[in-house]
C-alpha cells in the first residue's frame, strides 16, 4: 500500500475520502503492523486537517451571518 503524503491544500472532501480509505485498510487483515502504524499516523494528520477546515468553514459562516444581520439592521434603520 502506498503512503500518501498529507497535504493541507487538499480539499476537505479529498482528505475525508483518504481517511475513509485508511479506515478500510486498517480494518483489513492483510496489512503489516508497520504499515498500520504509518496509516494510523497519516489518518491522525488527515483528521486534524479536516477538523481545521471544518472550524474555518464554521467561522466563515458565522462571519457571513453577522454581516447579513448587520446589513438587515442597517436597512431597517434607513427605513425608519
* pLDDT on residue 1: 46
* pLDDT on residue 73: 82
3-state helix, strand, coil in the chain (%, to 5): 80, 0, 20
* pLDDT on residue 60: 97
User: What is the phi/psi pair of residue 5, to 5°?
Assistant: -80, 135
Any idea where the domains of the chain sit in the sequence? 12-79
Assigned C-alpha cell, 75: 436597512
pLDDT in tens, the chain (80 residues): 444 556 768 999 999 999 999 999 999 999 999 999 999 999 999 999 999 999 999 999 999 999 999 888 876 667 65
Amino acid at each position: 500500500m502506498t503512503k500518501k503524503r498529507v497535504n493541507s491544500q487538499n480539499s476537505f472532501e479529498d482528505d475525508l475520502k483518504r481517511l475513509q480509505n485508511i479506515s478500510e485498510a486498517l480494518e483489513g487483515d492483510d496489512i503489516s503492523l508497520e504499515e498500520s502504524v504509518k496509516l494510523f499516523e497519516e489518518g491522525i494528520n488527515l483528521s486534524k486537517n479536516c477538523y481545521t477546515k471544518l472550524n474555518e468553514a464554521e467561522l466563515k459562516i458565522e462571519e457571513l451571518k453577522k454581516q447579513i444581520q448587520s446589513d438587515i439592521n442597517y436597512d431597517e434603520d434607513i427605513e425608519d
